[in-house]
């Protein structure tokens, strides 16, 4: 072994790829993880043209890249690109983490695990909880399996278009051995109070809230909006008015899904608490 061999001394490269990408917090998060765990690596933001995702990924790999996080709008394209998918990524229909291996890439999706870890961090364990998931698009689909596997006592998928919620229920039926998955529209959602209500619709992006019926929130319940950086969203404000005991945004999920990806790449799990605190201090408050 020659210690001067550049292949042995080269710093490992990682990146987040998206369009746009300049706003991404991932480089700061992974730089903090790398410093904390003393990993010799770099992590950059990679802007891919809307019609140039595959080429940009291939170039990154040729240049020695070891792994990528994938964000909007390329998660589905990354899923199609990858033939070695984890089960959770296969079912999510989206890939947010690519790991370079001998032949190409393997693909995973750490979003749902990130959500579950964040809920646990917040002291709201999905195990045994009655969970309501609002939305039936990509964001919702990405978290269903991890919520089921975490042991939710009931998981109701509610959506503006009820048929899309039912389609999602059918998609995950093979993984619902305990028969806890239900689906329907907003009005079907109120039959039993919930311990955790998760907003995975894109309504918060236009400052709207799904028109949820009263009676949804159990005492001690948590309302969770998967978006972050927007302060108290219309959904979270509505949740407070309807009796949710606590509210949370998706900032913790962002950090936790990054930690999951970091662990996949490096085999080391970072302590997320200091990074969460650092980001929280720079983010609009939920007060």
Q: What is the nearest approach in angstroms of ligand ATR to the Cβ of residue 137? A: 2
The contact set with ligand ATR (CB under 6 A) reads 135-140, 159-161, 164, 201-203, 208, 210
Q: What is the nearest approach in angstroms of ligand ATR to the Cβ of residue 169? A: 13
Output 107 or 210, the one with its CB closest to ligand ATR: 210
Q: What is the nearest approach in angstroms of ligand ATR to the Cβ of residue 202? A: 4
Q: What is the nearest approach in angstroms of ligand ATR to the Cβ of residue 198? A: 12
Output 32 or 183, the one with its CB closest to ligand ATR: 183
Round to whole Å and give the CA distance between 287 and 277.
Answer: 16
Look up 25 and say whether it is catalytic. no
One of 75, 130, 266, 276 is an active-site residue; which one?
75
**Count of residues in the chain:** 287
Closest residue to ligand ATR, based on beta-carbon distance: 137
Output 39 or 159, the one with its CB closest to ligand ATR: 159
Answer yes or no: are the C-beta atoms of 249 and 286 closer than 8 Å: yes
Closest CA to 263 of 9, 17, 76, 14: 14
Output 99 or 200, the one with its CB closest to ligand ATR: 200
> How many Cβ atoms sit within 10 Å of the Cβ of residue 183?
23
- Which residues pair with residue 133 across a beta bridge? 157, 198
Cβ neighbours for 55, distance < 8 A, ≥ 6 positions apart: none
Closest CA to 284 of 227, 212, 239, 222: 227
Positions marked catalytic: 75
């Amino acid at each position: 072994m020659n210690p001067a061999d550049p292949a042995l001394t080269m710093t490992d490269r990682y990146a987040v790829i998206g369009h746009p990408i300049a706003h991404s917090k991932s480089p700061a998060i992974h730089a903090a993880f790398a410093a904390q765990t003393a990993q010799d690596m770099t992590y950059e933001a990679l802007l891919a043209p809307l019609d140039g995702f595959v080429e940009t990924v291939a170039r990154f790999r040729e240049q020695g890249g070891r792994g990528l996080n994938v964000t909007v709008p390329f998660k589905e394209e990354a899923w199609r690109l990858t033939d070695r998918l984890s089960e959770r990524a296969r079912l999510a229909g989206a890939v947010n983490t690519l790991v370079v291996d001998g032949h190409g890439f393997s693909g995973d999706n750490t979003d749902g695990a990130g959500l579950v870890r964040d809920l646990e961090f917040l002291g709201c364990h999905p195990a045994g909880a009655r969970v309501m998931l609002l939305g039936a698009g990509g964001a919702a689909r990405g978290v269903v399996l991890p919520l089921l596997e975490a042991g939710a006592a009931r998981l109701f998928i509610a959506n503006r278009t009820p048929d899309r919620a039912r389609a999602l229920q059918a998609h995950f039926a093979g993984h619902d051995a305990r028969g806890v998955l239900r689906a329907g529209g907003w009005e079907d959602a109120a039959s039993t109070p919930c311990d955790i209500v998760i907003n995975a619709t894109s309504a918060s992006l236009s400052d709207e809230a799904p028109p949820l019926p009263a009676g949804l929130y159990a005492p001690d319940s948590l309302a969770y909006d998967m978006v972050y950086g927007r302060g108290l969203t219309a959904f979270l404000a509505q949740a407070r008015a309807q009796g949710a005991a606590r509210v949370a945004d998706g900032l913790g999920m962002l950090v936790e899904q990054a930690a999951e990806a970091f662990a996949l790449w490096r085999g080391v799990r970072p302590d997320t608490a200091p990074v969460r605190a650092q980001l929280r201090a720079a983010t609009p408050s939920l007060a």
